[in-house]
C-alpha cells in the first residue's frame, strides 16, 4: 500500500499534519507557557478610561446603583461583565479584533496588532475574528463618544444608515437610558485600544500646547488701547 501513489500521499499528508501541529501548537506552547496573563483587576489598576468616568458623570444615579463610584474595583466589574456580554451576543462574528499587517489595514483601523496586547484575561476566548461586516474594534477606544455608542446600540441606523447590525434595546431601561448591561458593554468597547500611547488622541489632535509667555496677549496693553 505504502508503495502506491495513494500511500505516498497518505504518508505525506500525515507528515505535514504532524509538522503543522508541532510548529503551530507545541512550539508556541513551550515558548509562552511561562508567560503571565494579566487579570481584569490588574488591568483596572492601571487606570480608568475617560469614558467610564464620563458614564458615571452623565448617569450618576443609575451608575451608582449598578457599580457604585468609578474606581478600579467598579471598573473591573464593568469590564468583566461587558466582555461576557460581547462574547455572549456574538459581536465577534461581525467585528474582528486584530489589525493585520496587510492591505494598508493600519490606515483604516490603527496600528498593526502585536502579541503582548492579547496577554490578558479579556482576550479569552480569542476574538481575532475572520469577518468584518462591521469595523475592527481593537482600536475603538475614544474613537467615538459614549453618546454615539448609546445611539448605535439603541438603533444602529441612527448613526450608520446602511448598518445591518440589529438593535440592542435590552441594553436600555424603560426610559431609554443604558442599563447595567448597556454601560458594561460600552465600557468594554471603550477599553479596546486604550492601552495605546496615542489614546485618546487617535487622530493626532492632541491637547493644545501651552501658550508661550512671549506669545500671550498683554492684557494691560490691550486695555490701554481700547
pTM comes to 0.80
Pairwise pLDDT comparison (65 vs 26), residue with the higher score: 65
Read off the pLDDT of residues 115-136 as tens digits, 9 standing for 90 and up. 889 999 999 888 998 788 999 9
Among 15-24, 30-39, 79-88, which range has the highest average pLDDT? 79-88
**What mean pLDDT comes out for the span 81-107?**
94
**What mean pLDDT comes out for the span 94-98?**
95
CA atoms of 100 and 49, how far apart (whole Å): 25
| Domains delineated in the chain | 38-191 (1.10.760.10)
pLDDT of 207 > 80? The answer is: no
Per-residue model confidence (pLDDT) at position 205 = 61
pLDDT of 10 > 50? The answer is: yes
Query: Exposure of 155 by Cβ count < 10 A (0-12 exposed, 13-18 middle, 19+ buried)?
Result: middle
**% of the chain at pLDDT higher than 90:** 66
Per-residue model confidence (pLDDT) at position 208 = 60
Residue carrying C-alpha cell 490691550? 222
Q: How many helices (H) and strands (E) does the chain have?
A: 11, 0
Per-residue model confidence (pLDDT) at position 73 = 97
Centre a 10 Å sphere on the Cβ of residue 53 and count the other Cβ atoms it contains: 13
Amino acid at each position: 500500500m505504502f508503495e502506491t501513489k495513494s500511500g505516498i500521499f497518505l504518508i505525506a499528508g500525515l507528515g505535514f499534519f504532524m509538522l503543522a501541529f508541532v510548529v503551530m501548537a507545541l512550539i508556541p506552547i513551550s515558548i509562552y507557557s511561562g508567560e503571565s496573563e494579566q487579570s481584569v483587576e490588574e488591568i483596572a489598576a492601571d487606570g480608568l478610561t475617560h469614558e467610564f468616568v464620563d458614564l458615571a458623570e452623565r448617569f450618576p444615579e443609575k451608575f451608582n446603583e449598578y457599580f457604585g463610584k468609578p474606581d478600579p474595583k467598579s471598573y473591573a466589574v464593568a469590564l468583566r461583565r461587558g466582555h461576557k456580554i460581547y462574547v455572549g451576543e456574538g459581536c465577534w462574528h461581525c467585528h474582528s479584533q486584530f489589525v493585520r499587517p496587510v492591505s494598508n489595514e493600519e490606515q483604516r483601523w490603527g496600528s498593526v496588532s502585536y502579541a503582548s496586547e492579547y496577554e490578558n484575561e479579556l482576550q479569552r476566548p480569542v476574538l481575532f475574528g475572520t469577518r468584518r461586516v462591521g469595523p475592527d474594534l481593537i482600536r475603538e477606544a475614544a474613537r467615538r463618544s459614549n453618546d454615539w455608542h448609546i445611539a448605535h446600540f439603541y438603533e444602529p441606523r441612527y448613526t450608520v444608515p446602511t448598518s445591518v447590525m440589529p438593535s440592542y434595546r435590552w441594553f436600555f431601561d424603560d426610559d431609554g437610558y443604558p442599563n447595567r448591561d448597556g454601560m458594561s458593554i460600552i465600557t468594554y468597547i471603550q477599553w479596546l485600544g486604550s492601552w495605546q500611547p496615542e489614546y485618546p488622541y487617535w487622530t493626532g489632535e492632541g491637547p493644545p500646547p501651552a501658550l508661550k509667555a512671549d506669545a500671550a496677549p498683554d492684557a494691560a496693553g490691550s486695555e490701554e488701547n481700547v
